[in-house]
Amino acid sequence: KSSLYWFRRDLRLEDNHALQQALAAGHPVQCVFIFDTNVLVSLPSSDRRLGFIWHSLLEIRDLLRAAGGDLWCETGEPQAIIPRLAIQLDADTVYANEDYEPYARQRDQGIAAILSAQGKELRQCKDQVIFAKDELLTGGGKPFTVFTPYCNAWLKRLTPYHSQSREVPPLAGRLRAPAGVPAMPNLIELGFTQVEPCLLRPGMSGAAELLADFCQQRIQRYHEQRDYPAVKGVSYLSTHLRFGTVSIRQLVQFACFDGSEGAACWLKELIWREFYQQLLWHFPEVAEHSFKPQYRDLAYPNRQDWLESWQKGLSGYPLIDAAMRQLNQTGYMHNRLRMVAASFLVKDLLIDWRLGERYFAEKLLDFDLASNNGGWQWAASTGCDAQPYFRIFNPVAQSQKFDPAGRFIRRYLPELAQLDDQAIHAPWLAKQLPDGFVLGRDYPTPIVDHAVQRQQALALFGRQ
Ligand code: FAD
């Protein structure tokens, strides 16, 4: 007999709830990962996330091998593979951590039903959040749809138990011997022939390095620095949280232990993540529609050429373009810029937020359905606790405020490097541009006039 442990968005061997449970059950444990073809089929062959996942798995595989086991990797449909493996490896129980996305819920329900018909079980544990599903509800027993009361309830409910590590015992002697384990496919075999480089160090070791850097040096100043994209003020841990190479419990422990104003502010951001996760759980329809029904049928003009200019970082608004080029080049975008770039797409270009959401989903290394959808619906004013529709970011004022010396813009728009600190935010307003620099040739003139588009957006949303 053996037990199966199935890795999904929890690519770590430490503080892992379902792995802990699998090892505690007493049978030798076989760790499994499936490259899910239902997911892979829609990804471009350059997708950076595959590189991150693959290298994170390699680290896990080596650690499992060092402990006398191995990682069993297959490519295909989990609904077919997991029940077959349970029979093949004589496992009565398959352990996995809960995943709250609509696709994952459907997949897991299907697998649980097949396993149950075989007299076996899919046992799922809460791992990627502190509070899941119905654990936090309003006094009236309803899901929270406003962040501040959710956050207060979250903080009030938190005890040391909730953030306590789910310690994984030493692996040696507890793993299934590696007989018959299929070799891990490489990226080219998986069809990912041109994976773009991932600047983020993957795996548990990558997460540990970032966390140490953030918690030793920067967390105390997080509240002052987090809004400035040119400053190394944030943690950059989002991709690790997305793939579970770091544990949320460990992050909450750090934030609570630190006790500084910066740490309290950072903890709130972790709570935003959980707010959006519970929202997606209770209202899975937000993945398709605006949360607010009155904004479901807005007649966005959706100009394709404007969408493409935005995607390529050629809108003529330097902060927006620098943000989009950061996304295209690195797979990351700073939170302040996500808010401003999303607002610009919806309120200045009058393009449906779902098209922007889809583009971010394709490009972001840390893409997470709940947070991405939540962030987009917040910026588009269609979400439950969103920015009111009449509050519209001015892309030039945001640039002057959050990148005053244009350091971030210069990093991603080298063609503007010679402009002075005033002109760089709005080159078309500059009295004088550097010799030889021609606006419209070296950098685009703005594709829209913010003041005009603002009125159009107010009219579009105000009609509802
Ligand atoms: P830090 O500032 O160090 O914050 C720590 C962690 O808290 C983050 O790693 C993240 O897990 C969480 N967090 C921080 N801010 C938010 C937030 N506003 N909402 C939810 N969680 C948050 N985050 C994603 O993880 N995946 C996405 O696909 C995503 N898409 C977004 C789209 C838009 C339009 C907007 C406005 C925000 C989006 N965010 C998303 C939230 C946020 O921008 C990123 O989590 C953050 O920029 C990641 O950088 P960091 O790890 O350095 O964050």
Which of 334, 448, 440 is CA-nearest to residue 392? 448
Q: Which two tokens stand for residue 170?
A: 């030493």
Of the residues 103, 127, 151, the one at which a domain ends = 127
| 101 part of the active site | no
SS3 for 386-447, per residue?
Answer: CCCCCCCCCHHHHHHHHCCCCHHHHHHCHHHCCCCCCHHHCHHHCCCCCCCCCECCCECCCC
Please say whether the beta carbons of 193 and 42 come within 8 A. no
Q: Which two tokens stand for residue 234?
A: 């944030």
Q: Do 136 and 255 share a structural domain?
A: yes
223 lines ligand 1 (CB under 6 A): no
Q: Do 455 and 348 share a structural domain?
A: yes
Q: Which two tokens stand for residue 60?
A: 């896990």
Which of 323, 312, 307 is CA-nearest to residue 355? 307
359 lines ligand 1 (CB under 6 A): no
Q: pLDDT tens-digit profile of 6-49?
A: 999 999 999 999 999 999 999 999 999 999 999 999 999 999 99
**Structural domain count, the chain:** 3
| 266 part of the active site | no
Of the residues 221, 247, 282, the one at which a domain ends = 282
Q: Which one from 59, 353, 372, 378 is the annotated catalytic residue?
A: 353
Q: Do 351 and 304 share a structural domain?
A: yes
Count Cβ atoms below 10 Å from residue 417 Cβ, excluding itself.
12
ipTM at complex level:
0.99
For the CA of 341, the closest atom of ligand 1 is: 34
Residue-number span of the structural domain to which 109 is assigned = 2-127
Residue 230 binned pLDDT confidence (cut-offs 50, 70, 90): very high
**In the chain, % of residues over pLDDT 90:** 97
186 assigned to some structural domain? no
Q: pLDDT tens-digit profile of 392-409?
A: 999 999 999 999 999 999
Task: Tell which phi-psi region holds residue 33, choosing left (phi > 0), alpha (psi between -120 and 50) or beta.
Answer: beta
Average pLDDT, the chain: 97
Of the residues 282, 309, 335, the one at which a domain ends = 282
Whether the per-residue pLDDT at 463 is higher than 90: the answer is: no
354 lines ligand 1 (CB under 6 A): no
| Residue 80 CA to ligand 1 centre (angstroms) | 34
Please say whether the beta carbons of 437 and 424 come within 8 A. no
Q: Do 122 and 135 share a structural domain?
A: no
Residue 371 binned pLDDT confidence (cut-offs 50, 70, 90): very high
CATH of the domain at 423: 1.10.579.10
368 lines ligand 1 (CB under 6 A): yes
- The whole-number average pLDDT for the span 97-110 is 97
Q: pLDDT tens-digit profile of 201-221?
A: 999 999 999 999 999 889 999
The C-alpha R_g of the chain, in whole angstroms, comes to: 24
Q: Do 403 and 310 share a structural domain?
A: yes
| 154 part of the active site | no
Distance CA 437, CA 419 (A): 9
Q: Do 108 and 242 share a structural domain?
A: no
370 lines ligand 1 (CB under 6 A): no
Q: pLDDT tens-digit profile of 136-152?
A: 999 999 999 999 999 99
Strands of the sheet with 2-7, listed across from one edge: 71-76, 29-36, 2-7, 91-97, 121-125
Q: Which residues of 192-209 are buried (b: 16+ CB within 10 A; e: fewer)?
A: beebbebebbbbbebbbe
Whether the per-residue pLDDT at 464 is higher than 90: the answer is: no
Whether the per-residue pLDDT at 234 is higher than 80: the answer is: yes
Task: Tell which phi-psi region holds residue 26, choosing left (phi > 0), alpha (psi between -120 and 50) or beta.
Answer: left
CATH of the domain at 228: 1.25.40.80
Residue nearest (by alpha carbon) to ligand 1 atom 52: 236
| Beta carbons within 8 Å of 378's beta carbon, 6+ residues apart | 339, 385, 386, 387
Q: Do 138 and 119 share a structural domain?
A: no
Count Cβ atoms below 10 Å from residue 373 Cβ, excluding itself.
23
DSSP letter at 377 equals H
Q: pLDDT tens-digit profile of 151-161?
A: 999 999 999 99
Q: Which two tokens stand for residue 286?
A: 């937000």
Q: Do 416 and 336 share a structural domain?
A: yes
Q: Do 330 and 263 share a structural domain?
A: no
Crossing angle (nearest 10°) for helices 353-363 and 335-343 = 150
78 assigned to some structural domain? yes
Output the CA–CA distances (angstroms, integers) from residue 206 to 52, 56, 243, 328, in the order listed.
10, 9, 12, 22
